[in-house]
Amino acid sequence: MDIKQLVNEFFAEQNTQNFSINVAISNLRGSGDVQWTNCYSRSCKNMPDEYGRKECKLDCQWRSVNLLVSRMVSLRSDCRKSTNPDACMKTLNDTMLAERIKQRKIRDMMSQVRRQKEEFKRNQAAGARGTT
């Protein structure tokens, strides 16, 4: 048996199996992790400002979670393909709720970093006035 035939048989077998919400969520989370790390590498990694870099990193994470939740919403229709559609919907809704809570925490951390940045700037300005 050649490899092409094995691959075709594998995919044919996959299509006959039921939809698994846990596998789908896992795949989405994996792609979300790749997305935010790519965003960080492109946009934030070379920022000289520590606070700006932290804020940028959190923004990349927030956007990734936002896209993840959007993609999870689109999985609702796939729950009909599962062996237990009600359990699939419950798992999906619970996971989306957890991701939204995670998103709120990231927003709170972003606010905290902004406050720290402003405090740092005020302290620098006060120090500069005190030395003149």
Q: Where are the domains of the chain?
A: 20-131
Mean pLDDT of 58-81: 94
Q: Quick one: pLDDT at residue 6?
A: 64
Instruction: Give, in order, the Cα–Cα distances in Å from 30 to each of 26, 33, 65, 112.
Output: 6, 5, 11, 27
* pTM of the predicted protein model: 0.77
Mean pLDDT of 82-99: 95
In three-state secondary structure terms, 19 is coil
- pLDDT band of 17, cuts 50, 70, 90: low
Q: Quick one: pLDDT at residue 129?
A: 76
What six digits make up the tokens of 82? Answer: 């599962």
Statement: residue 124 has pLDDT above 70: yes
Query: Mean pLDDT, the chain, as a whole number?
Result: 88
Statement: residue 110 has pLDDT above 90: yes
**Percentage of residues in the chain having pLDDT higher than 90:** 70
Q: Quick one: pLDDT at residue 19?
A: 84
What six digits make up the tokens of 11? Answer: 């995919």
C-alpha–C-alpha distance, residues 55 and 67, integer Å: 18
C-alpha–C-alpha distance, residues 32 and 38, integer Å: 10
Q: Quick one: pLDDT at residue 42?
A: 95
The residue that leads in pLDDT, 70 or 1, is 70
Q: Quick one: pLDDT at residue 36?
A: 93
